[in-house]
Amino acid sequence: MGIDFISKIKNDHKDFDKGKLSDNVPSDPFDLFKEWYEHAFKSEQPEANALHLTTVNKEGKPSSRILYLKDITEEGFIFYTNYNSQKGREIAETGVVAGLLFWPGLERQIRIEGTCQKADPAISDAYFNSRPRGSKIGAWASHQSEELDSRQTLEERTVEYEAKFPNEVPRPEHWGGYLIKPERFEFWQGRASRLHDRICYKKDASQNWEVFRKNP
DSSP state of 194: G
Q: How many whole angstroms separate alpha carbon 55 and alpha carbon 183?
A: 15
Q: What is the pLDDT of residues 145-202, one digit of tens each?
A: 999 999 999 999 999 999 999 999 999 999 999 999 999 999 999 999 999 999 999 9
Could you write out the DSSP letters of every residue in 21-82? --S---SSHHHHHHHHHHHHHHTT-TTTTEEEEEEE-TTS-EEEEEEE--EE-SS-EEEEEE
pLDDT band (50, 70, 90) for residue 1? very low
- Give the chain's end-to-end CA distance (angstroms, integer): 38
- Whether 216 and 195 have beta carbons less than 8 Å apart is answered as yes
Say what the pLDDT of residue 18 is: 82
- Whether residue 10 is predicted with pLDDT greater than 70 in this model: the reply is no
pTM for this entry: 0.91
Reported as a single tens digit per residue, the pLDDT across 21-38 is 988 999 999 999 999 999
Per-residue pLDDT of 40-92, as tens digits, reads: 999 999 999 999 999 999 999 999 999 999 999 999 999 999 999 999 999 99
Model pLDDT, residue 13: 66
Q: Which of 92, 201, 78 is nearest to 145 (CA)?
A: 92
Count CB atoms within 10 A of the CB of residue 18.
13
Is 91 exposed, middle or buried (CB count within 10 Å of its CB: 0-12, 13-18, 19+)?
buried
Sign of the torsion formed by the C-alpha atoms of 84, 146, 48 and 194: positive
Q: Collect all residues with Cβ–Cβ distance below 8 Å to 174 and sequence separation of at least 6.
A: 82, 83, 84
Amino acid 182: pLDDT: 98
